[in-house]
Structure 1
Amino acid sequence: MATREDAYPYPGEQYILSVDRYQIEVMNHLDELPATGAGIICTFPKVRDGVGYPVRVFAVCPAA
């Protein structure tokens, strides 16, 4: 994924993006998931030369 050098001033974020990994921030309701047994699925478009785009994230939880 391409990014501007000054877009992410934090070295950790810059490293993650420089090794072709995606970063998902600001997820709500994670406290509602069980401590173990749930899976989180993330879907996103492959964007050329983009620095941000919407991501769809949902959790699959065991039956209560």
Structure 2
Amino acid sequence: MAPKQRVVVQTGPTRKRQQEPSGFLSSAYRSITASENATVVRSVVVFGAAVAFLHSSFSELLIPQ
């Protein structure tokens, strides 16, 4: 018995896909800007800003007089 063949029918206009670069930096940028990772990226940015603030001389504003 011959194997069943699958026929794919396209409807509507065909569009060519844009060729995406496959480098490390471009894939990292795509994963960072993906909407699924927005909360993780936002948390890392806030944590980095807090560490930078506490390491700077502005952190002395938090010390009671």
Fold shared per TM-score above 0.5: no
**Greater relative contact order, per chain length (Cα 8 Å cut-off, separation 6+):** 1
Q: Which has the higher strand share?
A: 1
Q: Which structure carries more helix by proportion?
A: 2
Using structure 1 for the length normalisation, give the TM-score: 0.21
The higher radius of gyration belongs to: 2
Give the TM-score of the pair, scaled to structure 2. 0.21
